């Protein structure tokens, strides 16, 4: 059962959420567990984290903590839309493909409109086309563009690319939501200020992922447009997303944000993915499915190789157009990456030399 914990190397590359809690977050969690504090977020630790996030983003944003990314996205979108509105997102977006209709459910029917992508990034022209296509009363009125950072294909939007999406959205009268489940990896990859990748580029609401970054649980919903968060606390409570012992959701962020541990961990995860990609692209019959820009490597592997790799106990996804996805995290080691690359290399050379 704990094979993955004890084994000499990491077999889990299915997601960055297969890793444990990073030490900084765990220490902050343990420290937060001493004594008594007011519940439901009215505690000093939660206030401190919100202030720290305001420092990180260099602005007076409004911050809420929820248990997972699906709730963060669904509730944020619901706050931005009326039920007769629509949200434009990539056809590969997590909100569209992996949230079991939660955005539609929590918004009482807001429809998602799918736009085509290029390397995971939404095509600007498709946003325009989806809005311009119709303006009549029979069409769900476009209200928000939702983009994912880093994208579902492991690529990132540069600050200029976020700004271009936001400018197009603004011109069409739409707001901008960012699913930042891997926002840390994007910031680390680009080396820019978090503000430049969010509100300064035109993002109204950011779902800042904590789980994949190394927290035990929880995401922060960050409202840069405070008008949108007016009754968000009630929305969270009704959806069952208001933690009574809020300090356990919030305090780990204190450890994560202190000394920019979040960026060190994200940079490490990105480096591990880079290391893996560099090894894999050299192999015959292996190619990158999308450029490696953050902490994920999407590769086209020969089918037999993917099958045998999986049979040997390595866990990874093949849900994106058949490509194998290997995610690295704060906890992925160089040795683990090398072992994985070595295994893939052997599987490929075995079959090439077979009679």
Q: Which residues of this chain interact with ligand PLP, rule CB under 6 A?
A: 68-70, 94, 148, 152, 179, 181, 211-212
As a residue count, the chain comes to 355
Residue 110 Cβ, how far from ligand PLP at the closest point, in Å? Answer: 17
Whether 294 contacts 305, CB under 8 Å: no
Whether 207 contacts 219, CB under 8 Å: yes
Residue 238 Cβ, how far from ligand PLP at the closest point, in Å? Answer: 18
- Give the CB-nearest residue to ligand PLP: 69
Q: Which residues contact 63 (CB under 8 A, 6 or more apart)?
A: 49, 50, 53, 54, 220, 221, 222, 223
Q: Which residues contact 275 (CB under 8 A, 6 or more apart)?
A: 334, 337, 338
Whether 42 contacts 55, CB under 8 Å: no
Residue 289 Cβ, how far from ligand PLP at the closest point, in Å? Answer: 16
Residue 68 Cβ, how far from ligand PLP at the closest point, in Å? Answer: 3
CB nearer to ligand PLP: pick between 208 and 232: 208
Residue 231 Cβ, how far from ligand PLP at the closest point, in Å? Answer: 23
CB nearer to ligand PLP: pick between 89 and 257: 89
Residue 179 Cβ, how far from ligand PLP at the closest point, in Å? Answer: 5
CB nearer to ligand PLP: pick between 210 and 255: 210
CB nearer to ligand PLP: pick between 184 and 348: 184
Q: 176 is written with which tokens?
A: 């901008």
CB nearer to ligand PLP: pick between 81 and 181: 181
Residue 252 Cβ, how far from ligand PLP at the closest point, in Å? Answer: 15
Q: How many CA atoms lie within 13 A of 346 on its CB side?
A: 8
Instruction: Please tell me what DSSP assigns to residue 12.
Output: B
Distance, in Å, from the CA atom of 183 to the CA atom of 18, rounded to the nearest integer, reads 18
Q: How many CB atoms lie within 10 A of CB 226?
A: 12
Residue 272 Cβ, how far from ligand PLP at the closest point, in Å? Answer: 17
CB nearer to ligand PLP: pick between 131 and 181: 181
185 SS3 class: helix
- Pairing mode of beta strands 219-223, 205-209: antiparallel
CB nearer to ligand PLP: pick between 12 and 148: 148
147 SS3 class: strand
CB nearer to ligand PLP: pick between 117 and 308: 117
**3-state DSSP percent of the chain in helix, strand and coil, to 5:** 45, 15, 40
């Amino acid at each position: 059962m704990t094979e993955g914990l004890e084994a000499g190397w990491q077999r889990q590359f299915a997601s960055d959420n297969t890793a444990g809690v990073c030490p900084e977050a765990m220490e902050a969690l343990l420290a937060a567990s001493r004594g008594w504090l007011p519940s439901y977020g009215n505690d000093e630790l939660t206030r401190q984290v919100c202030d720290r996030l305001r420092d990180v983003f260099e602005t007076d944003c409004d911050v809420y903590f929820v248990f997972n990314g699906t709730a963060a996205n669904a509730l944020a979108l619901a706050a931005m839309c009326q039920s007769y509105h629509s949200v434009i997102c990539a056809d590969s977006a997590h909100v569209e493909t992996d949230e079991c209709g939660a955005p539609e459910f929590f918004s009482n029917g807001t429809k998602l409109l799918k736009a085509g992508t290029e390397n995971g990034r939404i095509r600007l022209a498709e946003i325009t086309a989806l809005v311009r296509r119709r303006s009549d009363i029979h069409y769900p009125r476009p209200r928000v563009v939702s983009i994912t950072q880093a994208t579902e294909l492991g690529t990132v939007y540069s600050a200029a690319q976020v700004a271009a999406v936001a400018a197009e959205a603004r011109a069409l009268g739409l707001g901008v939501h960012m699913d930042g489940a891997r926002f840390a990896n994007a910031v680390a990859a680009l080396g820019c200020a978090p503000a430049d990748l969010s509100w300064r580029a035109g993002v109204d609401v950011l779902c800042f992922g904590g789980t994949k970054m190394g927290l035990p649980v929880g995401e922060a919903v960050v409202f840069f447009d405070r008008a949108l968060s007016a009754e968000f606390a009630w929305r969270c409570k009704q959806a069952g997303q208001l933690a009574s012992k809020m300090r356990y959701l919030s305090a780990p962020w204190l450890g994560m944000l202190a000394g920019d541990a979040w960026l060190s961990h994200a940079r490490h995860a990105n480096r591990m993915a880079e290391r893996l990609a560099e090894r894999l692209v050299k192999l015959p019959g292996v190619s990158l499915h999308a450029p490696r820009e953050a902490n994920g490597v999407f590769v086209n592997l020969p089918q037999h190789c993917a099958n045998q790799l999986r049979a040997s106990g390595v866990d990874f996804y093949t849900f994106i157009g058949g490509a194998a996805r290997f995610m690295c995290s704060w906890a992925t080691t160089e040795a683990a990456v090398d072992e994985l690359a070595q295994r893939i290399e052997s599987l490929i050379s075995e079959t090439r030399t077979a009679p």
